[in-house]
Chains A and B, each alone.
Chain A
Amino acid sequence: MTIENEVKELIIKALELEDIEPSDIEDEAPLFIEGLGLDSIDALELGMALKKKYNLKMGSDKEENKKYFYSVKTLADYIRSNVGE
């Protein structure tokens, strides 16, 4: 499975998004506010789930984190560059 698909499944599982399938989420669509309409508390939960699954630690720079959390693709890129395939 691609990291992109893993991330989609993680988002759905971590945030308990009923009625949403991985195929409903576009790789490059914004996750927050627009697109999936997640908020910053969802981001916290997602951050915890990412940490658990990939041992991925988010830095303290909020602006940087915002970039990584922009879309499924940016998150997958971040995981690849920090954890490897």
Chain B
Amino acid sequence: MLVTGSSRGIGRASALYLAKNGYDLVLHCNKNTKMANDLKDEIVSLGRKARVLQFDISNREECKNVLSEDIEKNGLYYGVVLNAGIAKDNVFPVMEDREWDSVLNTNLGGFYNVLKPLVMEMISQRMKGRIITMSSVSGLMGNRGQVNYSASKAGIIGATKALAQELAKRGITVNCIAPGCIETDMTSELPVDEVKKMIPMKRFGKPQEVASLVNYLMSEDAAYITGQVISVNGGLYQ
């Protein structure tokens, strides 16, 4: 199965968790090929197969070329975790065009760019597969300084729910995970002590705590769950 943005953070934890549960992995990365290759080695040492695909999810042509070639050569994926995403925080009045564009084109554009080459194949090959998207608490509640990020993550929720409707009859589930504050590079610059006070559980989540949900949604047991947004946020937003 394919995990985008798997060189670090939630993507890396998810890929490892899935590998430990017996899945073979296709690891996507944008720039961190070294980290993705290290992860590949780690997964191979667990006795699973893994390969690395490097492309920019905001580049439609590149996604189409790399993914179409890969599935033609190696077979279609059973599961896709659309985890890759970026944040470029700034308060809206001074947000720069490129901050808006890059976040939307990567986070929401990535949904289209990565899934478009795969979904019709899943349909015609009768692959009763799994698609998992990554939203955020910011997409549910809106977060100051993140008008771009919140918009992209809310957009992912709408796209997930709509696609779930289209694919339900085909046994393909499409679900969305909305993590809260998770210990990753993306949250490393937050004022940790202040943020913790706002979280009912008074702590950040671990990437593995999101990965375990990814693993569950991928399983046969989760076949009847589709079109859902499931939060993993220590009670931060209900």
Residue numbers of A with Cβ under 8 A of B are 16, 39, 41, 44-45, 48
Contacts and interface: CB of A to CB of B under 8 A. Distances in A.
A3 B139 CA distance: 52
B126 A39 contact: no
6 contacts: A39-B166, A39-B169, A41-B123, A41-B170, A45-B124, A48-B124
A41 B166 contact: yes
A62 B166 CA distance: 18
Per DSSP, chain B at the interface is helix
Contacts of A16: 126
A53 to B, nearest CB: 15
B123 A45 contact: yes
B124 to A, nearest CB: 6
A41 B170 CA distance: 10
A39 B123 CA distance: 13
Contacts of B124: 45, 48
Nearest to A49: B124
Nearest to B124: A45
Contacts of A39: 166, 169
The 7 closest A-B pairs by CB, nearest first: A41-B123, A41-B166, A16-B126, A45-B124, A39-B169, A45-B123, A41-B170
A48 B125 CA distance: 14
Nearest to B167: A41
Given A41-B123, A41-B170, A45-B123, 7 more contacts: A16-B126, A39-B166, A39-B169, A41-B166, A44-B120, A45-B124, A48-B124
A39 B169 CA distance: 9
Interface in B138-177: 166, 169-170
Contacts of B126: 16
Contacts of A41: 123, 166, 170
Contacts of B123: 41, 45
